Amino acid sequence: MTTAQPLAIQDQLIALLAERFGLDQTTIDPQVTFSSLELDSLALVEFTVTLEEDFGVPVDEEDVTAENTVGELAALMADKLTAQGQAAG
C-alpha cells in the first residue's frame, strides 16, 4: 500500500505555486490561504489543471478555493494520492 507524504507534497505545492505564478517561495507557508497569495479565481482554476497534470489525480474546482490554506490542499492531495495508490493495489 502506498501512503503519500503530506509534507513532501506541501513542498511540491509551494514550489509549483512559486513557479507558475511568479511568487517568492519564502513567503508561502502552510498556513497561508490562496486569497492572501492574491490569486484570483481563474488562477485557482489554472492551478487545479496544473495539479491534475503534475500529480495525475482528478482535482475539482471546489478542492482549491480562496479560503483553503496550502497545508489543507497538501493534506487533500495526499489523501487523493493514497486513495489512488490503494485502488491500484
Distances 82 to 1, 25, 70 between C-alpha atoms, Å:
8, 26, 18
Which three cell numbers, joined as nine digits, stand for 60? Answer: 475539482
Size, binding site for other proteins by CB under 8 A = 8
Which CB sits closer to other proteins, 50 or 82?
50
Query: Please, are residues 54 and 68 in contact by the beta-carbon 8 Å criterion?
Result: no
Show the CA angle centred on residue 44, arms to residues 11 and 23, nearest 5°. Answer: 50
CB of residue 50 vs other proteins: minimum separation in angstroms?
A: 9
Which CB sits closer to other proteins, 8 or 45?
45
Binding to other proteins in span 34-63, by CB under 8 A: 40-42, 45-46, 48-49, 61
Using CB under 8 A, list all residues that contact other proteins: 40-42, 45-46, 48-49, 61
